[in-house]
């Protein structure tokens, strides 16, 4: 595995560590959502770098998923991916960071984001030959 790929996966793991520390705090569900988006984005970028298949300077998860689809099949709920895209793209100011159009996600929704991100990371790590 390339060094840059390892760096993307290491950075994604850092987002996971943050999520694990804050996931039980109902006041931080917006940050769980934000770090889930980052966790997924960095996982996808690891694939892009490993296979040299596009630009890693994209933040849109749907577009990143399109880029990697010939190299990795990801079973991801498209509704959650779209929600996380909106969260990242629309959160340009500190007050909006990690917020969805209707405000903070519920604990249940934040848990779904976290589960989605973890599943994607595990799939990517397995495909790239790295233990989670």
Q: For residue 68, with 0-12 CB atoms within 10 Å meaning exposed, 13-18 middle and 19 or more buried, which class applies? A: buried
Examine residue 132 and state whether it is found in any structural domain, yes or no: no
* Residue span of the structural domain in which 123 resides: 3-127
Whether 88 is covered by a domain: the verdict is: yes
What does residue 101 show for φ and ψ, rounded to 5 degrees? -55, -30
DSSP 91: -
Average pLDDT for runs of 10 along the chain of length 132: 95 96 92 94 96 87 94 92 79 59 85 96 90 48
CATH of the domain at 69: 1.20.120.330
Number of domains into which the chain is organized: 1
In a domain, 79, yes or no: yes
In a domain, 59, yes or no: yes
Euclidean distance between CA atoms 121 and 109, whole angstroms: 18
Is residue 57 situated within a structural domain? yes
Q: Note if the pTM is more than 0.85.
A: yes
Question: How far apart are alpha carbons 18 and 15 in whole angstroms?
Answer: 5
Distances (CA, A) of 25 to 29, 38, 43, 120, 124: 7, 19, 25, 23, 28
Q: How many Å separate Cα 45 from the centre of its chain?
A: 10
Q: Does any domain span residue 49?
A: yes
Q: Please give the pLDDT value at position 90.
A: 55
């Amino acid at each position: 595995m390339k060094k840059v790929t390892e760096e993307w996966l290491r950075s994604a793991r850092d987002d996971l560590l943050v999520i694990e520390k804050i996931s039980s705090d109902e006041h931080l569900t917006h940050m769980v959502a934000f770090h889930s988006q980052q966790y997924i984005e960095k996982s996808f970028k690891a694939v892009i770098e490993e296979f040299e298949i596009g630009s890693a300077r994209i933040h849109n998860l749907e577009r990143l998923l399109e880029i990697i689809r010939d190299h990795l099949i990801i079973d991801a709920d498209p509704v959650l991916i779209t929600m996380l895209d909106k969260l990242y793209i629309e959160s340009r100011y500190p007050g909006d960071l990690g917020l969805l159009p209707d405000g903070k996600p519920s604990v249940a929704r934040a848990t779904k984001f976290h589960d989605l991100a973890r599943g994607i990371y595990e799939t990517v790590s397995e495909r790239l030959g790295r233990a989670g």
